[in-house]
Amino acid sequence: MAGRSLRVVFAGTPEFAVPCLEACRASGADVVAVYTQPDRPAGRGRKLAASPVKDAALAAGIPVEQPESFKAEADRERLAAYAPDLMVVVAYGLILPRKVLAIPRLGCWNVHASLLPRWRGAAPIQRAILAGDSESGVDLMQMEAGLDTGPVLVERRTPIGVDDTGGSLHDRLSALGADALSEGLRRTLAGETLTPRAQPEEGVVYAHKLDKAEARLDFSLPATELERKVRAFDPWPVAEADVAGERLRVWSARAIEGVPGVPAGEVIAASRAGIDVACAEGTLRLTAVQRAGGRRIGAADYLNARPELKRAAS
């Protein structure tokens, strides 16, 4: 490709994909079109809202396409009319059929937020935290018809810290994804052919889509497992728990040593440091919560509204 422009079609939807779009633009490639999900109802008014990628594309003056799918031949012909050398796909939200994968001259690349083959699928960031993984990363992958099965072209790794949340890991992997994509584009524009590395057949794990029902904290489970759930589900869907007769959203918590013989779910201490709830193994200390219709507050502010907990647990 040296000495010749690289025509790129970018396909992505959420905030995670925006740095990758910017990396495409900064690479010197010619981003000829952006594909993103159709506008969806959002917010309390349920008004149609554009995706973050659409907003970024329009701000950059790039044509935007929003097909519901690529089942119609007319939609595939429209993509082909852009004559892309390469299609870059980042959290687009549509599975591309073989006929679409075959349109770009160099095929399609995908930026995926895990170390493949672990955590193929929809929610790799949260699943890695839930499972207690010590490491995550981003793979730039050559797309195939299978779900995240293609060979890896470039990889970036990062440790998962004990305080990482779904939000903090999301932001770090988003930046790493843009970095990996930048390397792939730079080398391709320099005339290099990237060497694909086939994924191992062992170690395949699927990151199933998050369900809000999963956010409920079950104190009959170990406190360490519940702490990971609180971290993984921040900022969405946010963990929930029944605490002393009230349903709370739990934004921050940590596992501490338990008190033997206390039934799971019982509040055993409550102070400015947090609200300690007994678990099957250990104790979960809730440090930031949210009441129905309220905002996120620290444990001290919550206990000011419920002083009886301080008395009951003293």
| pLDDT tens column, 184-218 | 999 999 999 999 999 999 999 999 999 999 999 99
pLDDT tens digit sequence for 123-136: 999 999 999 999 99
Burial class of residue 262 in the structure, from the number of CB atoms within 10 Å of its CB (0-12 exposed, 13-18 middle, 19+ buried): middle
List the helix and strand counts (H, then E) for the chain. Answer: 9, 17
> Which residue is it, tokens 């008190």?
259
Which helix (DSSP H) or strand (DSSP E) does residue 177 occupy? Answer: helix 166-189
Binding site annotation covers 235? Answer: no
CA distance 269 to 34: 53
Residue 1 has pLDDT above 80, yes or no: no
> Which pLDDT tens digit goes with each residue over 272-304?
999 999 999 999 999 999 999 999 999 999 999
Ranges of each domain in the chain: 7-207, 212-313
- The amino acid at 88: V
pLDDT at res. 311: 62
pTM (predicted TM-score): 0.94
- Mean local confidence (pLDDT), 1-28: 90
Whether residue 252 is annotated as binding a ligand: the answer is: no
**Any idea which fold 212-313 has?**
Methionyl-tRNA Fmet Formyltransferase; Chain A, domain 2 (3.10.25)
3-state secondary structure of 23: helix
Rounded to 10 degrees, what is the CA torsion of 62, 9, 128, 279?
A: 40
CA distances from 245 to 209, 242, 297, 309, 313 (A): 30, 6, 18, 11, 14
| Amino acid code (one letter) for 124 | P
Q: Is 114 annotated as a binding residue?
A: yes
Identify the CATH number of the domain defined by range 7-207. 3.40.50.170
Give the pLDDT confidence of 77-120 residue by residue, as tens digits.
Answer: 999 999 999 999 999 999 999 999 999 999 999 999 999 999 99
Give residue 253's identity as a one-letter amino acid code: A
The annotation status of 260 as a binding-site residue, yes or no, is: no
**Model pLDDT, residue 314:** 53
